[in-house]
Amino acid sequence: MRVQQRIREANGCAEVLQTDLSRPEQVDALFRKAECAFGAIDILVNNAGIGLGATVLETRTQDLRLLFEVNFFALHSLCRQALADMGKRRRGIIVNVTSAAARSGCPRVSAYSASKGAVHAYTQSLRLEAAPLGVSVVECLPISVRTGFFENVRGKKYLPSGVVQTPQKVAKTLLRALSQKNPPAEVLPFKPIRIAFVLEALIPQLFYLFSRRMLLHDEDYTLVPVSGGETHGNEG
C-alpha cells in the first residue's frame, strides 16, 4: 500500500489487487482483474514467492506442495494468460524472477531450490514458445536480497550469507534490461554469480566440493526456530 501511495503522489497510476497465490481460483482471476484496472498488459513480472527452511528429512509433503503452488503453479497460470493475450497483440514481456538457487540447489532449502529450478526450466521452454508470437521472456536470477523474505519463510528461519543486495539494485538492473529493444534472456543483478554457474556446468564435482565447504560450514548459514506467520508476497 505504501508503494501505491508513493506512485500516486508522483502522479502515477497504481492499483493493489490482493491475491492469495496458494488459491488457484484467485490466481486464475487475477490477470483479468488487472486488465480491467489497467487495460492491456504489456509487462508481467512474476516476483511473488515463499521459502521453507528445512532439510530434506524435515520437509513435509504438504509444505512442498504449498511452495510449488505459490512459486510454480501460480506463475504458470499467469504466464499462460499473459502469453495468450500478448500473443494476439504480437508484443509484450514476461519476467520470471527466480533465484541463483534455481541454477544450483542449496542445503536446507531443497524445496525452495526445487521450485525455483522448475521455474528456470519452465522459463526456458516458455521463451522458445513465446518468441514466434512476438513476446519476450526474461529470467531474473538474483542472489539474496534485503527484503522481509527471510523473516517470513515457513519452517525454520534461515539467514543469508555473503553478498546481500538491495531491492533497489535488483529493480534498476531489471529496468535497464527491459528498456532494451531486445531484452536479454537472463538478468543477473550480481554478475559474478555467472562464474559459479559456469563452474557448476563445466566441473560439477569441484563446484560441489566448494559449495559444501562454503555452505555447510558457514556459521551464518544456519537454521533457527522462527515464530510468526507466513507470506505469499515478494521474495528475496
User: So which residues are the catalytic ones?
Assistant: 112, 116
Q: Alpha-carbon distance 219 to 233, whole Å?
A: 28
The candidate with the shortest Cα–Cα distance to 98, out of 113, 87, 111, is: 113
How many residues are listed for the chain in this entry?
236
C-alpha cell at 49: 514467492
Tally Cβ neighbours within 10 Å of residue 78: 24
Beta strands 43-46 and 223-224 are unpaired
82/126 Cα distance (integer angstroms): 11
Q: How far is CA 50 from CA 23, 38, 73, 233, in A?
A: 14, 27, 13, 7
CB 130 within 8 A of CB 151: no
